[in-house]
Amino acid sequence: MLGTRGRKLFAAVAAAVILAVAVGVLYRPGGPAGPSGGPPVEPYPVPPPNCPVADLPGETTEPSIAVSRKDNNTIVVGGNDLNTPTGIVWCGHYVTHDGGKSWKQGLIGGYPRGPRNALTGFRDTCDSNVVSDSQGNFYYVGVAYNRVPPPSIPSARRTMVGPSAIFFAKSTDNGDTFGQVVLARPSALTHVQFNDKPVVAVDDNTGDLYIAWSSFHIGAVFGGCQLMVIRSTDGGASWSSPVTVDGSLTSGDNWGVSIVVDQNSTVHLGWPEYSLNAIRYARSTDRGATFSAPVEIAAIVYQPSPLPPTRFRTPMQTQMAIDRGTKNTSGSLYLVWVDYASGDTDVYLASSHDAGSTWSDPVRVNNDTESNGIDQFFAAVTVTDEGWVHVGFYDRRSDPENRMLEYWWAISFDGGASFPLNMPMSDVAFDGDLSQEGDLAFIGDYTGMSSANGTVAAVWCDTRRATESAPDSDIYGAVVPYKDLLKTNKFANVTVPWP
């Protein structure tokens, strides 16, 4: 399953793009699709230079990203990585200290034949999520599990059940190593419970850390899903007992949670509730001891998984960001998801400017023609210092057949009320079906976007170097000094309100 791939010529591509900026011709053929979903009718700007974050022979997927809030040239990415001694999937970490020009690639310890730690004995890890704090530390969470189930488990579930744990890792050396690794939620030691999709957040006021995740209960007696939260008050060395926010042993389907902590130490959660066809929200004002009753932010129609005509799975996720700036939007919350109500998948965002007490109506982020049969999905969100909201997502608008993927970037200058600017961030289109894990097409379940001090950075799963005979995937990204890019580009019908 490991393909052989050629080398890349990124230096030439980057030089060409920089030259284009200098002469003011950052346009390429193509643009937003016409009303019929056919060929583009206007040009759009050439994307920023892309960088290979994780490009070893083994496949890498499902990236998460955090830009250091202390030094924006330091960026850490996490992802699923098959470059292990035994070929199993394990959580990788990748760091740059020069703004994305070069990357160092590594693995969280504990993998078979690797350094021993609390993860030793598990056969796989996955579902990375990474954040940074204001002091330059990085925090990483994921799932550790064993794939082998008892014969009584239906075959369709054999790759996702078995003893599983939530692990936590910490880096205090600018992301170079993650020496502190603990089991934040130890293995349930049961084949009917699976802990999935953990996310981590840090409280800049207290230093408290929070992890939220979904705990699935599989079997004839149970069958529910609980949304759980735990807290650490000692830098991740130990963790509290879990608090259940939503769901039960027998009901609920709340997979794909997101979490942030605001300036007042309020913990905010957003998630899709599959059983209710809704996006829901809850918060804690007592440092995670209790949570408010969940409320509905929006009714949704779930997208198919996989999305035709491609074969890779496309489950629902949410991502949330908070405005940490000093402008009048400071403290605002932004939650993104996707919706299939129009007959194709679109990205939507809701905002709260009162600490989650009320939420706006959903705003459509992608600006192609509605109901044109073109899909956008796997959205990520971040907020820059002046209060601009940035959303990244896979987009198929450049392909009338709705197959080839690009990674796109949308910006709101008015607190999430509108997204007049959409532009590509990836510099090539690629076929997601050429990413393969086992015998299945797989590009992960999410993408990542982060920002700090004038930099927006995004990561996605990319198959530009794969072929049908040699399927493969890498993690690619773009690290963008976005103000420079906006000043040197030309955007039709868009006025940038410079602070």
Residue 160 lies in a domain: no
Residue 328 lies in a domain: yes
Provide the pLDDT for residue 194.
Answer: 84
Q: Are 316 and 338 in contact (CB under 8 A)?
A: yes
4 pLDDT band, cuts 50/70/90, is very low
Count up the domains in the chain and report the number: 1
Express each pLDDT in 457-484 by its tens digit. 999 999 999 999 999 999 999 999 999 9
Provide the pLDDT for residue 252.
Answer: 72
Is the pLDDT at 35 greater than 80? The verdict is no
Alpha-carbon span 167 to 147, nearest angstrom: 17
Provide the pLDDT for residue 169.
Answer: 99
Alpha-carbon span 333 to 354, nearest angstrom: 8
Residue 30 lies in a domain: yes
Residue 135 lies in a domain: no
Is the pLDDT at 257 greater than 90? The verdict is yes
Express each pLDDT in 91-149 by its tens digit. 999 999 999 999 999 999 999 999 999 999 999 999 999 999 999 999 999 999 987 64
CB neighbours of 416 closer than 8 A, spacing ≥ 6? 332, 334, 349, 350, 351, 360, 363, 389
Is the pLDDT at 78 greater than 60? The verdict is yes
Strand partners, 193: 217
Provide the pLDDT for residue 66.
Answer: 99
150 pLDDT band, cuts 50/70/90, is very low
Pick 373 or 37 by higher pLDDT. 373
Alpha-carbon span 163 to 165, nearest angstrom: 7
Alpha-carbon span 397 to 404, nearest angstrom: 9
Residue 159 lies in a domain: no
Q: Checking DSSP bridges between strand 124-132 and strand 440-441, what pairing results, if any? A: unpaired
Provide the pLDDT for residue 247.
Answer: 86
Q: Which amino acid is at 320?
A: M
Residue 78 lies in a domain: no
Provide the pLDDT for residue 161.
Answer: 54
Express each pLDDT in 300-320 by its tens digit. 999 999 999 999 999 999 999
The range of the structural domain enclosing residue 429 comes to 1-50+300-493
Express each pLDDT in 328-361 by its tens digit. 999 999 999 999 999 999 999 999 999 999 999 9
Provide the pLDDT for residue 148.
Answer: 60
Provide the pLDDT for residue 253.
Answer: 82
For the ranges 30-44, 272-286, 478-492, the lowest mean pLDDT is seen at: 30-44
Residue 91 lies in a domain: no
Is the pLDDT at 20 greater than 90? The verdict is no
Is the pLDDT at 38 greater than 50? The verdict is no
Q: What is the rounded average pLDDT for all residues in the chain?
A: 88
Alpha-carbon span 336 to 321, nearest angstrom: 9
Distance separating the N- and C-terminal Cα atoms of the chain: 50
Express each pLDDT in 408-436 by its tens digit. 999 999 999 999 999 999 999 999 999 98
Residue 243 lies in a domain: no
489 pLDDT band, cuts 50/70/90, is confident
Pick 58 or 449 by higher pLDDT. 449
Alpha-carbon span 450 to 129, nearest angstrom: 12
Provide the pLDDT for residue 344.
Answer: 98
